[in-house]
Amino acid sequence: MRKENYLLPINLYRLIPGGIIMQLRDKVYDKVSKMSTSELSLVYEQIELMEKIKKASRGKKGCKYSIEEVLEMTKSSKNSWADEVEALREERM
């Protein structure tokens, strides 16, 4: 019985000799080929959702401010941000 390591990031699998990505593709193809039409429809919807998420995340340019800039801007604040977050959470409940 082969023990697989699911903790490696997908990019590292591409570096491992033996084609783990191809093995994964083969497993997915095998499962998909055995699905009913309704199951295939659900899988297709999931793929479409993943593509939308990927497209939306491409448009983001990253953070507007660095952590250092945020700390500099907020260091003079006399309020406790933790207390403020806690109060907002209590209001929602």
Number of Cβ within a 10 Å radius of residue 90: 8
55: domain range? 10-92
The 10 Å CB-count burial string (b at 16+, else e) for 36-62 is eeeeeeeeeeeeeeeeeeeeeeeeeee
Q: How many domains does the chain have?
A: 1
Inside any domain, residue 51:
yes
What is the pLDDT confidence band of residue 9, given thresholds at 50, 70 and 90? Answer: low
Do the beta carbons of residue 20 and residue 6 sit within 8 Å? no
pLDDT the model gives residue 61:
65
Inside any domain, residue 70:
yes
pLDDT single digits (tens) 38-58: 999 999 999 999 888 888 777
Inside any domain, residue 79:
yes
Inside any domain, residue 65:
yes
Range with the poorest average pLDDT among 38-42, 47-51, 63-67, 88-92: 63-67
Do the beta carbons of residue 13 and residue 20 sit within 8 Å? yes
| CA–CA dist 12, 78 (Å, integer) | 46
